[in-house]
Structure 1
């Protein structure tokens, strides 16, 4: 449902209409219905309902409470759900709850806001809605009633103590390594933040990552949070690059609350810690390959050394055997004949 914008319906003849803050004499440039009121206060204001089409339209006009969607967007309760907060504080005269607006015209509709005496301090959000219902057929050919609506936002602050506070309710992280053994990996961090205070807040998140003994520590600033209404919840996933695989990483995610449009309120950072295993698998594989290659090289050198030693031993044995085969085998010595001199008698 568009809020604060014109909408286009799709009956037989398309129509376009819109809602905007107004005064008795027409729109006055406000982008939303913004108030600061005490408990028990009563205020009258005007909403301009404009028909930009070439035919009359019938619209239902009412107020509803706002909520923060899962994606962090501003939305209003479904039409069938009754408001219990600021939407229930707004009242239209019966004549203005369903109106026929001529083509190319505008009606400035008065309404009254009555703040309960026991209203809680802080921000209360809602919207003024102009709705057109039309019968249509669904994919199965069944006739259904389609409710199309546009609106303008209500931001009402009840005076009293303002308590800006965020809570980080969940933090999960997963490490993804780099196929390059010498390159860093990344962390995928999913976290959930809840506005536990009573004012509208955005937030400035950051994540601090450190390995054992503080190795590789660093802080990364993350994208700002969308506006969260009091009680609103937002879950997001971010990626943090250039993270070294230091086996065990300690992660601390902090969010500094930032009040919307009000810089005079002090805030305190909300945080939550987590631990993630960052095993250096590519580096371990590389180390294993180096160890295996070194082992094979050492084994090859030892095999070569053994072969050389065996060759030397065999050579010595062959030499000794050859020397033995050249010696006499009858055990007698070979002496040269000599002549004995005889004397004469």
Structure 2
């Protein structure tokens, strides 16, 4: 069985890539994000490894540019050169073509797969031929034309010129694998007109994870998609804010800065906040502020985009602790009441006993010493003895 695996490969400033290993598309400036690689089964090593590079050039050779950067009016045409250098010890025959750029799901810069037809700046580039053969240790400066359609939309259009080589090998299961090694230079074209730098937050989802420790807060996790709905390539800075009812205990946290997002591209990101008190119902608002890429100047600064969502945060551990405290308080009060009742009964019994003792005391006094308890003798005949 034959499988086709396409690898988006790229280069450093000189535009060099060995084969079969892959590298990354040339970055125009240090602030630009690196391209991501799509992995595939590795082919068997070729007998003679090939190494080549792609870079902006002139009719007399490279001029130090790291990317093709243009600002043109609709309908404008220009001619430029792309330098393809063979660093190998054998001749190389490479496919040479232009394609449109896309933002990967991880925020990288990539081009459409080889089988996909470009519809943007990649389709506006015309090369004299599809394949080039370059002798060993040589460079070929290939001219091309770029024509901007008269109905082209204003703003940024990104793509690249690619030189690719297909290598065939076998994977671990013995299947034949064709790997398309691609290396190229980026194209950044800005068509004149009204600029609309806009990032939009979509599909905001918020989750609260409570802590088993009732003395610490939980974690709020916000996942959302940032889409470039404008016509200018932008980076972004996300911020997550969380508050309880009526704005109680509001806090905010700054997330990881977003890399470059091309117009029409999108990127999923996640921002977490720990130590959030569970106040039953939390309101989370995600904000992303557009940031200019490279040496761009955005005047006036674009507005931030905000989305809001609510999430339940029931304080179960805190409620359990409160219930235990309430139970302990009730038990303490009940114990005190029981002891008070026992004490009251003991006092009442003592008082009763005291009263009983006091009632018996007069009789005891009359029968004691100092009292003559004898009765006068009475004559039964009714006469007194005297």
Distance (Å, rounded) in 2 between the aligned partners of 1:235 and 1:313: 78
Deviation at 1:14, TM superposition (A): 2.1
The CA distance in 2 between the partners of 1:317 and 1:73, in whole Å, is 94
Shift of 1:311: 5.5
The answer to whether the aligner puts 1:286 opposite 2:321 as a matched pair is yes
Q: Is 2:224 aligned against 1:191?
A: yes
CA contact (8 A) 2:11 2:17 kept: no
Contact kept in structure 2, 1:3 and 1:153, CA below 8 Å: no
Q: Single out whichever of 199-208 and 147-156 deviates more from structure 2.
A: 199-208
Using the TM superposition, give the Cα deviation of residue 318 of structure 1 relative to its aligned residue in structure 2, in angstroms.
8.5
How far is the alpha carbon of 1:8 from its aligned partner? Answer: 2.1
- 1:4·1:32 contact (CA, 8 Å) conserved in 2? no
After TM superposition, list the pairs within 5 Å mapping 1:44-63 onto structure 2: 44-63=79-98
Answer yes or no: is the 8 Å Cα contact 1:164–1:265 preserved in 2: no
Distance in 2, matches of 1:172 and 1:144, equals: 40
The residue that corresponds to 1:89 in the other structure is 124
- Equivalent residue for 2:291? 258
Report how many aligned residue pairs link the two structures: 336
Q: Pairwise CA RMSD of aligned residues?
A: 2.8
Give me the whole-angstrom Cα distance separating, in 2, the residues matched to 1:111 and 1:257: 34
Offset at residue 38 of structure 1 (A): 1.2
- Superposition map of 1:25-64 within 5 A: 25-64=60-99
Unaligned runs of 5+ in 2: 1-7, 21-45, 360-372
Match of 2:175 among 142, 146, 149: 142
Deviates more, 1:98-107 or 1:148-157: 98-107
Distance 1:177 1:193 in 2: 27
Tell me whether 7-16 or 174-183 shows the greater mean CA deviation: 174-183
Q: Point out the more displaced range, 142-151 or 279-288.
A: 279-288
2:309 paired residue number: 274
Distance, in Å, in 1 between the alignment partners of 2:56 and 2:344 is 101
Q: 1:344 to 1:224 in 2, by over 3 A?
A: closer
- 3-state DSSP class of the match of 2:258? coil
Measured after TM superposition, the shift of residue 151 of structure 1 is 1.0
Q: TM-score, normalised by structure 2?
A: 0.79
Deviation per CA, 1:189-238, whole angstroms, max 9, x where unpaired? 11111101111111122223222222212333332211110100111111
TM-score using structure 1 length: 0.87
Residue number among 170, 177, 194 corresponding to 2:203 in the alignment: 170
Aligned to 1:2: 9
Does the CA-based 8 Å contact 1:59-1:132 persist in structure 2? yes
Give the aligned partner of residue 243 of structure 2: 210
Of 156, 166, 176, the residue aligned with 2:189 is 156
Tell me how far 1:39 sits from its aligned partner. 1.3
CA distance in 1, matches of 2:374, 2:246: 94
* Native 8 Å contact 1:173 1:188 kept in 2: yes
Corresponding residue number in structure 2 for 1:107? 140
**CA distances 1:248-300 after superposition (whole Å, capped 9, x unpaired):** 22222222222323213331221111112223333222211110111122222
Q: Which runs of 5+ in 1 are unaligned?
A: 325-334
